[in-house]
Structure 1
Amino acid sequence: MTTPAGDHGGQGDQGGDTAGSFAALLTQRSYLRFWASRLVAQLAAQMVMVALGWQMYDLTGRAWDLGLVGLAQFLPALVLTLPAGHVADRHHRGRIVMGSNGAQLAVAAVLLAATLGGWASRELILLLSVLLGMARAFQLPASQSLTPLLVRPALLPRALAFNASGMQVAIIGGPALAGLLFAAGIHWVYALGTLGFVAGTLLMGSVRYTAPPPSSAAASWATVLAGVRFLWQRPTLLGAISLDLFAVLLGGATALLPMFVKDILHAEPWVLGLLRAAPAVGALTMSVWLARHPLARRVGHRLIASVAVYGLCMLVFGASTSVWLSSAALFVSGSADMVSVVIRQTLVQLETPDDMRGRVSAVNGIFIGASNQLGEFESGATAAWLGPVGSVLLGGVGVLGVAIAWIRLFPGLWQRDRLLAP
């Protein structure tokens, strides 16, 4: 899609230094349409995911089937994300995102029809979960690699922070909205989710930008794995991505929150909702702050320091017997994690040539998905051995150890001063 006159895309707007301000970001109309498209589509996705789990448990009453819903979405994404990165580098990224939204729209519409018609089943939900995982595999690298085409490099840190704020709004608001609609009937969740995907697809179709020449490399294992080689040859980027992987892998406590609420804090069930929301609220707050006040200097120090703060928060949370102290620790952990996320994503996007961004974003996506999924497994395994408190404390110590080790293993990352290298 070409950038029409008056619609400022990333390649066509070459203003002065003041264009690095947050106000300048809000003048980028194509970027704002893209941001709004992601927001409404992610709201819809969060609502549908909550409803899928609820409906599966309502149908079967088995926790095992709840796990299968998550696994059915995760495995296709794990298998397809690297090839999807190659597709994003060879084809129009905006159309790939539209196609992914369209596939999720179809899934939501089928769930709506099945629920109203009374023919929803365990097998149907698992099949549609697989389709959701496949759609998101293609959506992730195409979506992540679009932002640098819509704003100039000086605006990219603000844009990525603003992207993150929208994601956090969806993560918080989607389940909350779904919960309100459950009272009227689960079909209303699917209906609103379908409308959300329609809006997201239409908004994405209105995004205009100058697409650079696509990668000319033919599909092969070598080209699909080019993103892995690219990161391996650039220690700064490899250090940033792997730091996040190990921090989330070791420091995740989400899977253990029900145990903490019941056995450690001796609190009411509503506290579980409070604790689950606290990191997202902290991340949202920090992302809004970073969109207005982007990091300019000593980004390597700040990246590793934010991971260390995350580890300290896990130690406080693990040792706490107070609901409010635990909530505060999780709030700060979400804020610190958002600093890490914005720095990492900005470095990756700025240091990667456009014809590689899809494949590098795909590797980044696999790291994120693996850290979240394996982190929950690690938390459960160590909790079975050490108990929930011991598991979280060990994880917090591990995160601090990783932060210290990365200073020595990746000195270029530690010494990195600016996001945009001279």
Structure 2
Amino acid sequence: MALTGNLFFFQVSHALFQVSLIWAVLDISGSKQTTGLLASAVYLPYLFFSLPAGIFADGRSKVSIIRWVCLLEAGIVLLIPLLHSLDNLSIRMMGIIAFILTSVAAFYNPSRDSLIPLYLPESKLLRGNTIVQVTIQIAFILGPVLAGYLIDLMGAVQVFMLIGVLFLFAFITGFLMKHPALEKDIQIQSLDMRTLTDILDTLKNDPVLIWLLIITVVDNLFIMGPAVVGMAILVREVFNGSASDWALCETFLSIGMIITSLFLMKWGRKIPLGIMLITGIIMDGLTYIPVKWASTIPLLWAIIFFHALFIPLIIVGRTTLIQKRVPHSLQGRFFSLISISVVGLTAVSTALTGLATEYIPVQDLFAYIGILAAATGGAALFYKPLRTLQNT
């Protein structure tokens, strides 16, 4: 699908942006709390704009939304090198630009995830979602690796010029995407209060979806801040590592996710969706606990690799579950709720992590959040309709 090409450039651009932004702020300010707050600016817009983005995706052409998002992001990110050349770039301004960039990006995921069922029959959804995840993880291998070496070579600010160019490539590849014929049949004609009540009615009639949202919110509140900001602080402050060392943490994370995604591509249909999702959440937490005893960066890489093996169970299982149980005409809105639960809660979690690491050793923090995240998955085991959910 042309969608995968667009997705690749989009995700590479965002991977580069995230690594470059966090490292630049940590390097300039030297403050873990400031870095946590700045990182939250990257994710906070999802709390505000994900639901409007989902409503918009259900009422407009999803392909057109994806194209415009890529073009606008190219222009926004190029403001950083422009302001730097004018000596007007500050940490506050970087935070504002990051907030605006992610506000636009919030419109991408609901359109992408609700577009997949319009291209593929239900029998191929799990495989299609797995291909999407493989594409994302390949992008997240290349993005941090490029960021790590380019930051060391030329400085974080200059890397933003390349990011802008990559967003333009995403915009160009967006024109290779065809408008699916089914899209015209399911678009809603007006965006009114019914757009909200419809999704509430769906939740009311399907408690499995309510449970899915709850465990997604709680799990990501615990896990995402340490994963994003905590890892950078750990590499820089505890191991005295470089941007390249941190980038390789992200690389090993992506390699682990690709391995499991390839497994799911071939054998995923044999695994019950409920077991896939719950196992992923439990192991997502448990595999972070060993970070407490990591003594070297290579050992940290090994722990991250093992941790990453279980993440696709969550992402692929959750996405496929939604695509199977939520009507096409509501999927943009429901995926927007997932964006709020995942990326939006990352804003809160990263801010809390930056604050917590001022008082708690970062390795201890990984152990605490690992236990809490695993307990979230453990609680889901007690809900039989989710636990026994099949893949057919």
**TM-score normalized by the length of structure 1:** 0.79
Contact map agreement 2:6 2:170 (CA 8 A) in 1: yes
The answer to whether the aligner puts 1:231 opposite 2:203 as a matched pair is: yes
Write the letter of the residue equivalent to 2:337.
V
Q: Tell me how far apart the structure 1 counterparts of residues 171 and 390 of structure 2 sit (CA, whole Å).
A: 39
Write the letter of the residue equivalent to 1:172.
I
Q: Tell me how far apart the structure 1 counterparts of residues 352 and 157 of structure 2 sit (CA, whole Å).
A: 36
Deviations 1:177-230 (A, max 9, x none): 133334246675333322212221121122112123344364344523643542
Q: Using the TM superposition, name which of 86-95 and 331-340 deviates more.
A: 331-340
Secondary structure of 1:295's match? helix
The answer to whether the aligner puts 1:47 opposite 2:16 as a matched pair is: yes
Query: What is aligned with 1:207?
Result: 177
Among 143, 152, 169, which residue is 1:174 paired with? 143
Q: Tell me how far apart the structure 2 counterparts of residues 145 and 262 of structure 1 sit (CA, whole Å).
A: 39
1:329/1:239 CA distance change after superposition, 3 Å: farther
Query: What is aligned with 1:81?
Result: 50
Query: What is aligned with 2:75?
Result: 106
Write the letter of the residue equivalent to 2:127.
R
Q: Tell me how far apart the structure 2 counterparts of residues 119 and 386 of structure 1 sit (CA, whole Å).
A: 35
Aligned ranges 1:173-192 → 2 under 5 Å? 173-182=142-151, 183-184=153-154, 189-192=159-162
1:241/1:277 CA distance change after superposition, 3 Å: farther
Among 163, 170, 175, which residue is 1:193 paired with? 163
1:134/1:308 CA distance change after superposition, 3 Å: closer
Among 300, 314, 319, which residue is 1:345 paired with? 319
1:378 shift after superposition: 5.3
Write the letter of the residue equivalent to 1:157.
L
1:87 shift after superposition: 0.6
1:242/1:193 CA distance change after superposition, 3 Å: same
**Unpaired runs of at least 5, structure 2:** none
1:137 shift after superposition: 1.6
Secondary structure of 2:381's match? helix
1:267 shift after superposition: 3.9
Write the letter of the residue equivalent to 1:333.
H
Contact map agreement 1:93 1:143 (CA 8 A) in 2: yes
Contact map agreement 1:91 1:214 (CA 8 A) in 2: no
Aligned ranges 1:47-66 → 2 under 5 Å? 47-53=16-22, 66=35
1:202/1:225 CA distance change after superposition, 3 Å: farther
Query: What is aligned with 2:64?
Result: 95
1:227/1:318 CA distance change after superposition, 3 Å: farther
Q: Tell me how far apart the structure 2 counterparts of residues 47 and 262 of structure 1 sit (CA, whole Å).
A: 18
Contact map agreement 1:214 1:355 (CA 8 A) in 2: yes
Q: Tell me how far apart the structure 2 counterparts of residues 188 and 259 of structure 1 sit (CA, whole Å).
A: 22
1:307 shift after superposition: 2.2
1:124/1:328 CA distance change after superposition, 3 Å: closer
Query: What is aligned with 1:293?
Result: 267
1:333/1:248 CA distance change after superposition, 3 Å: farther
The answer to whether the aligner puts 1:34 opposite 2:3 as a matched pair is: yes
Q: Using the TM superposition, name which of 349-358 and 43-52 deviates more.
A: 43-52
Q: Tell me how far apart the structure 1 counterparts of residues 91 and 236 of structure 2 sit (CA, whole Å).
A: 30
Query: What is aligned with 1:364?
Result: 338
1:191/1:399 CA distance change after superposition, 3 Å: closer
Among 305, 308, 330, which residue is 1:331 paired with? 305
Q: Tell me how far apart the structure 2 counterparts of residues 345 and 414 of structure 1 sit (CA, whole Å).
A: 16
The answer to whether the aligner puts 1:244 opposite 2:216 as a matched pair is: yes
Q: Using the TM superposition, name which of 69-78 and 349-358 deviates more.
A: 69-78
1:359 shift after superposition: 0.3
Query: What is aligned with 2:365?
Result: 391
The answer to whether the aligner puts 1:154 opposite 2:126 as a matched pair is: no
Query: What is aligned with 1:416?
Result: 389
Contact map agreement 1:230 1:360 (CA 8 A) in 2: no
The answer to whether the aligner puts 1:282 opposite 2:256 as a matched pair is: yes
The answer to whether the aligner puts 1:164 opposite 2:133 as a matched pair is: yes
Write the letter of the residue equivalent to 1:411.
K
Query: What is aligned with 1:128?
Result: 97
Contact map agreement 2:257 2:310 (CA 8 A) in 1: yes
1:184/1:371 CA distance change after superposition, 3 Å: closer
Write the letter of the residue equivalent to 1:102.
L
Deviations 1:138-170 (A, max 9, x none): 122112211111222222111111111121222
Contact map agreement 1:310 1:332 (CA 8 A) in 2: no
1:346 shift after superposition: 0.8
Query: What is aligned with 1:12?
Result: none
Write the letter of the residue equivalent to 2:118.
L
Q: Tell me how far apart the structure 1 counterparts of residues 63 and 361 of structure 2 sit (CA, whole Å).
A: 47
Contact map agreement 2:36 2:351 (CA 8 A) in 1: no
Q: Which structure has more RCO (C-alpha within 8 Å, separation ≥ 6)?
A: 2
1:88 shift after superposition: 0.5
Write the letter of the residue equivalent to 2:45.
P
**TM-score normalized by the length of structure 2:** 0.85
**Which structure is larger by alpha-carbon Rg, 1 or 2?**
1
1:48 shift after superposition: 3.2
